[in-house]
Amino acid sequence: MSLYIGRETSKLWKRISAETTTEVNLLAENWKYVLGGLICQYMHGLAARGVHYIHRPGPTLQDTGFLLLPELGEERAYVSETVFTFIFLSFVLWTFHPFIFKTKKIYTVLIWCRVLSFLVACQFLRVLTFYSTQLPGPNYHCREGSRLATLPRPDNPLEFLLIMPRGVLYGCGDLIFSSHMIFSLVFVRTYQKYGTRRFIKQCAWLTVVIQSLLIIASRKHYTVDVVVAWYTVNLVVFFVDRKLADMPERSIGAILPLSNDVRMKEENIKLVNGNPGDPVDWRLRNQANGKVNEDSNGLHVDVLDGV
């Protein structure tokens, strides 16, 4: 038993080491995109903090969602945040699954380059929107009489540039459209395209719908903030994804993504030598647009899919 455990541990360590080497090489090639995406995340946080300074509390606007959904109350505000945290952490763990599982459908660095590009495009539109018109925040700490509804002027630039977790949780003014919905929809759409488990995809979409209702019931956003996020994020991801280069195929035994020239040269060599390749490998080859087969499409996918 101990010999078996030791053998499997050794295999897992070799798998992690090989994947780490691969991802480090990819990061060395794409670090500018990753760094740029992370800087834009920080700039989005500064923009949300800046609009909090000019937010003015007022009477809560009439909202259809507030009339239809019962109010959870301030003491149950954690419910929607718990659901969002579950979506966020689940997606992050999934993007790192190639380090653990044998089957490797995606490259972690490349998938995050794609996700960051979606987030940046959506957040750019979001900043333009909530700076165009500031609505009185419906959240409890943004209402009239709350000392957190408007931030006092910063004493020094460092106070403004330093984003604290408390400021993220208790922001006001950055309403249209919901940032929580941006992250959730981008994550779910990404798994919808590159994930392999149909049941998980269905559960993911159901979870996002539930989160949308919880955000409104928690009075963290108006209904319009959630509705605008649903169609804006989906449209942005659709059009940005068409402009980006296709995700490279990751066939069995592949370490680094091959360029189109190298792949065409290898296939030409096979044809010249009269060896068209293993028909099973051709059947399992992913589509050029990065989509992967789902587990319900055939038995051979279950053998390959680890996540």
* Structure token pair of residue 60: 């809560």
180 belongs to the catalytic site: yes
Tell me whether residue 65 is exposed, middle or buried, using C-beta atoms within 10 angstroms of its C-beta: 0 to 12, 13 to 18, 19 or more.
buried
Looking at residue 297, its amino acid is N
Of 52, 174, 180, 305, catalytic: 180
**CA–centroid distance for 78 within its chain:** 21
Determine the Cα–Cα distance for residues 172 and 64; give it in Å rounded to an integer.
21
Of 225, 246, 261, 300, catalytic: 225
Determine the Cα–Cα distance for residues 43 and 37; give it in Å rounded to an integer.
10
Please say whether the beta carbons of 153 and 177 come within 8 A: no
CA quadruple 122, 128, 134, 135: dihedral, nearest 10: -30
Torsion 95-98-104-110 (CA) sign: positive
Of 52, 174, 221, 241, catalytic: 221
Determine the Cα–Cα distance for residues 82 and 211; give it in Å rounded to an integer.
9
User: DSSP 3-state assignment of 230?
Assistant: helix
* Structure token pair of residue 294: 């789902």
What residues act catalytically? 180, 221, 225
